[in-house]
Amino acid sequence: MFDGFRLDRVELPEVTLRVRHGGTGTPVVLLHGHPRTHTTWHAVAPLLAQEHTVVCPDLRGYGRSTLPPDAPDHAQSSKRAMARDVVDLMSALGHDRFAVVGHDRGSLVAFRTAMDHPERVTHLVVMDGLPVVEHLERTDARFARAWWHWWFLAQDDKPAERVITADPDAWYRTPPPEDIGPGNHADVWAALRDPAVVHGMCEDYRAGLGIDRRHDEDDRAAGRRVGCPTLLLESTGDDLDIHGDPAAIWEPWLDRPLRHRQIGSGHHQAKEAPDEVAAALREFLAGADAPAV
């Protein structure tokens, strides 16, 4: 995997992130979702590296990145904290301004990075994601039934960790190694069998139902919006449209018109349609970026 890329562990103020980086050109950071690691990008990153410096970290609490001790309101796993990691990581690698791409839970981190650090982010790409408050305000029986894992993983009184770590092979399902790459498959399963990672993933969802929602609400009340060019990549085989048109939901959060493109895949776009995803990203990133704030 990742021919020509370098694998490092970068110490930041609060955490140590495992990161894969390579290529040359304008920088772009790729953020994975649950329950994956940075290796989910193994087919996309080399295609982007032909024109960009590509940075792929494990989010804090995922893969082989660390997580600080639990804090009140699960703040150590907030998307604001993860966004600070992204900015600190890119600074450590020598990148003042960069594009940020996030899938699934990573899309929440990418969005928060663009909101909190507009002077650093040139382009924002969200893949199968919406601001968390938009999901929670639209929650109904259909959404709760389809996205039930949000509520299960976020429980405090009856921790999901006990169920998952008792038999992770029964809990999680991934495609076979030949479908997602042997190295990627091995990396994901090493993480899923690590109790510390399982706890980190649950804390991500606990933060999502509380502190992350409040951060979104505060931004909306203050009229803050994303100022950089933004692209939404929506899987044709996923259910991001469970609340209606996701592009319409995104529009009030953006200063610029949203670019919206559908990808012919299921939820895991980087695995199922890497060429299409890479082409969409390369086209979008070739456009004008946002002026520095």
Q: Give residue-wise pLDDT tens across range 7-35.
A: 999 999 999 999 999 999 999 999 999 99
Q: How large a percentage of the chain has pLDDT more than 90?
A: 94
Band the pLDDT of 290: cuts 50, 70, 90.
confident
CATH of 6-285, one of 2.60.40.420, 3.65.10.10, 3.40.50.300, 3.40.50.1820: 3.40.50.1820
pLDDT of res. 53 = 98
Identify the burial level of 71 via C-beta atoms within 10 angstroms of its C-beta, where 0-12 means exposed, 13-18 middle and 19 or more buried.
middle
Cα–Cα dist 136/85, whole Å: 25
Answer yes or no: 241 catalytic.
no
Give the predicted TM-score (pTM) of the model: 0.97
Band the pLDDT of 158: cuts 50, 70, 90.
confident
Cα–Cα dist 44/33, whole Å: 15
In one letter, which amino acid is 117?
H
pLDDT digits (tens, 9 = 90+) for 237-265: 999 999 999 999 999 999 999 999 999 99
pLDDT of res. 63 = 98
* pLDDT beyond 90 at 156: no
Cα–Cα dist 27/21, whole Å: 10
pLDDT digits (tens, 9 = 90+) for 205-223: 999 999 999 999 999 999 9
* pLDDT beyond 90 at 291: no
Q: Where are the beta strands (DSSP E) in the chain?
A: 6-11, 16-23, 26-31, 52-57, 98-103, 121-127, 230-235, 259-263
pLDDT of res. 150 = 96
Answer yes or no: 42 catalytic.
no
Please identify which of the residues 104, 187, 212, 219 carries the catalytic annotation: 104
**Parallel, antiparallel, or unpaired: how do β-strands 98-103 and 230-235 relate?**
unpaired
**Where is 220: in which H helix or E strand?**
helix 211-222
Q: What is the dihedral of CA 161, 172, 212, 277, to 10 degrees?
A: 160
Please identify which of the residues 238, 260, 267, 289 carries the catalytic annotation: 267
Q: Please give the residue that has the higher pLDDT: either 293 or 215.
A: 215
* pLDDT beyond 90 at 288: no
